[in-house]
């Protein structure tokens, strides 16, 4: 019985790995900021460069960090 449980856990574990948070990709170009979030419901968000009023980056010693983007949308 323990072997069956371990086997099922091994078969199901890749599906849980997909939904783990932390699979985010940020790209900053001269025209826009892109944010791609992976997982069960992958999403893409693009912010035009004209909307960006400021970017702040706070980094940790392990290389991880936070981007804080200030935006102002001027409707046309």
Query: pLDDT exceeding 90 applies to what percent of the chain?
Result: 0
Mind listing the pLDDT tens digit for each residue in 54-75?
888 888 888 788 878 888 877 6
Q: What angle do CA 56, 59, 62 make, to 5 degrees?
A: 165
Overall pTM surpassing 0.85 (yes/no) = no
- The region, left, alpha or beta by phi > 0 then psi within -120 to 50, assigned to residue 50 is alpha
In a domain, 60, yes or no: yes
In a domain, 18, yes or no: yes
In a domain, 51, yes or no: yes
Range of the domain at 21: 2-71
In a domain, 76, yes or no: no
Q: How many domains does the chain have?
A: 1
């Amino acid at each position: 019985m323990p072997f069956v449980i371990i086997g099922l856990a091994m078969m199901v574990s890749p599906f849980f790995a997909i939904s783990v948070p932390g699979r985010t990709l940020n790209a900053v170009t001269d025209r826009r900021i892109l944010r791609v979030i992976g997982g069960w419901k992958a999403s893409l968000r693009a912010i035009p460069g004209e909307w960006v009023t400021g970017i702040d980056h706070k980094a940790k010693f392990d290389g991880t960090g936070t981007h804080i983007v200030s935006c102002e949308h001027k409707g046309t």
